[in-house]
């Protein structure tokens, strides 16, 4: 068994605490201090006794409960400070530390401080949404590429940075697209996707709180996205679009003969 | 705790057995039968006693050891048959069941047979490679989109299906690209990426057996990919290209004051 180094950036997975990896959970139990994202399942805190748990209050998409976000540089400073004090520190992040998780800033600071660390991957929201809806992100032959992306818009509804949403021209699009953190801007995203040449009847699925008991799933087409939006506002939401959003249709296996349903386990 | 339904498609994660989720491991321990991919860490079999373990021999990229691949329809048939017999069956897949895992065929067969099932997500190889190399797949401002894709070529080096590798035109490319299952065709992939307009000095990282003790990592630029290939041939390999392939440079946190390295944990 690999022991915890001084510091680990650990992916907590997308929702319920049992979607963390075995290694991630073992490291949590060996830690002195945990710096946890605000959206982390509260069950984690109960599962790991004896550690100092610090909620770094990073909500990302939502501060409407009045609690301010903890600025990234303060989180990063705490990480370095505790490690320098000789503590075993876990930075616990929702989903996976390498996807839309500001991992770069924390890795840069740890490297500058010459602190040894490990990144423990986790299940990202796109994968959890696909599992929950039983709609694989890739499909044989017709769905072989999927682009993961975020969308940030200015007040005029224009993306604040060059954002191609899977390709500027319709023929260049990925087969499927998953947009993270759309909870606050579903309408702007819909308008922009149509302007980018995605057909209005492109299948879409919205999943909020993927992989948790509070999960909300809506499906439709790109043109109906605005009607679907109200159930998802203000929640951590991923939008899946294209081939990956289509339901899998039941289809019998060729050559599978009917067998009697006898319980041979008994 | 959620109990195992009759059938679950479970992501084993990318390599070492401790990268499976807690839920995935619990389901394995509750199962009667496990249908396991050939590339699954042998440690899994030791960790779950008392189940019937069936190696369905799906290597995907490699049959050079002389063992034939088990055709997909035979795996799917077994899954349905065991479930109909009343057994609790796990289909254990490397990585995540929703990404390049032929999940669609198995879900379609289970739906046709009206068998209840759950998909348990797992850590996919792209995420494991990013964790192992400490290079996040997304970066603030300049790396906000990543395309996951496979590449399959014919004998002439042409993709066998429409494959845009992150966008046909250079200006449409995703910021980063991760190509799965390149172990047999790194050279063809390099040639094709250059033809598609990716610059020859685009950073690349190859990771074989991501997340396991046998992990091999090489880095360079697109033009050097052919020289890097020999260390990775015939192994399960992901190629990361673009912003996500660049190393994170150490950078101090603004406002972080030096503190004495005293061990306050003692």
Q: Average pLDDT for residues A114-142, to the nearest whole number?
A: 95
Interface subset of A 51-90, CB within 8 angstroms of B: 73, 76-77, 80-81, 84-88
Whole-number pLDDT of residue A266: 31
For the cut 60, the answer to whether the pLDDT of residue A58 exceeds it is no
- Point out the catalytic residue in the list B37, B41, B96, B175: B37
For residue B113, the chain A residue with the least C-alpha distance is A252
Whole-number pLDDT of residue B159: 67
Q: In what order do the strands lie in the sheet with A176-180?
A: A216-221, A203-208, A237-242, A176-180, A145-150, B145-150, B176-180, B237-242, B203-208, B216-221
Side-chain half-sphere of B153: how many Cα atoms within 13 Å? 19
Residue B72 binned pLDDT confidence (cut-offs 50, 70, 90): confident
For residue A107, the chain B residue with the least C-alpha distance is B248
The DSSP letter of residue B253 is P
Contact B131 A141 (CB under 8 A): no
Q: Which of A121, A169, A264 to mutate to test the interface with B (most CBs of B within 10 A)?
A: A121
Q: Average pLDDT for residues A4-26, to the nearest whole number?
A: 93
Q: Which one of B77, B88, B138 has the shortest CB-CB distance to A256? A: B77
A39 at interface of B, judged by CB pairs closer than 8 A:
no
Q: Which one of B20, B98, B166 has the shortest CB-CB distance to A136? A: B98
Q: Which two tokens stand for residue A26?
A: 């073992």
What is the maximum alpha-carbon separation in chain A?
65
Contacts of B73 in chain A (CB under 8 A): 253-255
Whole-number pLDDT of residue A49: 84
Interface subset of A 235-254, CB within 8 angstroms of B: 248-254
Of B217, B238, B241, B213, nearest to B228 by C-alpha is B217
CA distance A134 to A144: 17
Whole-number pLDDT of residue A19: 97
For residue B265, the chain A residue with the least C-alpha distance is A87
CA distance A37 to A28: 14
Q: Please give the share of chain B, as a percent, with pLDDT higher than 70.
A: 83
Residue pLDDT, tens place only, A238-265: 999 999 999 999 988 766 654 433 333 3
B206 at interface of A, judged by CB pairs closer than 8 A:
no
CA distance B242 to B222: 9
Mean pLDDT of chain A: 85
Contacts of B122 in chain A (CB under 8 A): 123, 127
Q: Which one of A171, A174, A263 has the shortest CB-CB distance to B86? A: A263
Residue pLDDT, tens place only, B2-26: 777 789 999 999 989 999 999 999 9
Whole-number pLDDT of residue A260: 38
Contacts of A20 in chain B (CB under 8 A): 21-22
Whole-number pLDDT of residue B150: 87
Residue pLDDT, tens place only, B103-130: 999 999 999 999 999 999 999 999 999 9
Q: What is the CA radius of gyration of chain B?
A: 21
- Lowest mean per-residue pLDDT among A140-154, A176-190, B50-64, B194-208: B50-64
CB–CB contacts below 8 A, A to B:
309
Q: Which two tokens stand for residue B249?
A: 């440079």
Whole-number pLDDT of residue A262: 36
For the cut 60, the answer to whether the pLDDT of residue A63 exceeds it is no
Q: Which one of A13, A85, A98 has the shortest CB-CB distance to B131? A: A98
Cα A174 versus chain centre, distance:
19
* B201, B246 contact by CB (below 8 A): no
Q: Is B6 a catalytic residue?
A: no
- Lowest mean per-residue pLDDT among A216-220, B126-130, B192-196: B192-196
Q: Which two tokens stand for residue A59?
A: 């909500």
pTM: 0.91
Q: Average pLDDT for residues A60-87, to the nearest whole number?
A: 77
CA distance A237 to A14: 11
Whole-number pLDDT of residue B165: 58
Contact A251 B112 (CB under 8 A): yes
Contact B108 A22 (CB under 8 A): no
A35 at interface of B, judged by CB pairs closer than 8 A:
no
Q: Which two tokens stand for residue B6?
A: 């009759």
Q: What is the CA radius of gyration of chain A?
A: 21
């Amino acid at each position: 068994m690999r022991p915890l180094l001084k510091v680990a950036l650990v992916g907590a997975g997308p929702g319920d605490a049992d979607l963390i990896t075995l290694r991630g959970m073992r490291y949590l139990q060996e830690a002195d201090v945990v710096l946890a994202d605000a959206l982390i399942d509260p069950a984690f805190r109960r599962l790991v006794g004896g550690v100092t748990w610090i909620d770094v209050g990073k909500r990302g998409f939502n501060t409407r409960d009045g609690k301010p976000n903890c600025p990234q540089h303060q989180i990063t400073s705490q990480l370095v400070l505790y490690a320098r004090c000789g503590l075993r520190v876990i930075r616990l992040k929702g989903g996976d530390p390498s996807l839309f998780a500001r991992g770069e800033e924390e890795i840069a600071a740890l490297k500058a401080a010459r602190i040894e660390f490990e990144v423990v991957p986790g299940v990202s929201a796109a994968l959890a949404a696909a599992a929950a809806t039983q709609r694989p992100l890739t499909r044989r032959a017709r769905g072989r590429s999927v682009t993961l992306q975020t969308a940030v818009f200015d007040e005029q509804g224009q993306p604040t940075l060059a954002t191609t949403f899977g390709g500027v021209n319709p023929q260049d699009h990925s087969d499927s697209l998953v947009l993270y953190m759309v909870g606050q801007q579903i309408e702007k995203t819909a308008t922009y996707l149509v302007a980018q040449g995605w057909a209005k009847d492109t299948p879409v699925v919205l999943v909020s709180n993927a992989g948790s008991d509070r999960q909300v799933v809506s499906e439709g087409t790109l043109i109906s996205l605005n009607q679907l939006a109200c159930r998802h506002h203000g929640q951590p939401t991923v939008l899946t679009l294209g081939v990956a959003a289509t339901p899998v249709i039941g289809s019998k296996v060729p050559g599978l003969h009917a067998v009697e349903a006898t319980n041979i386990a008994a």
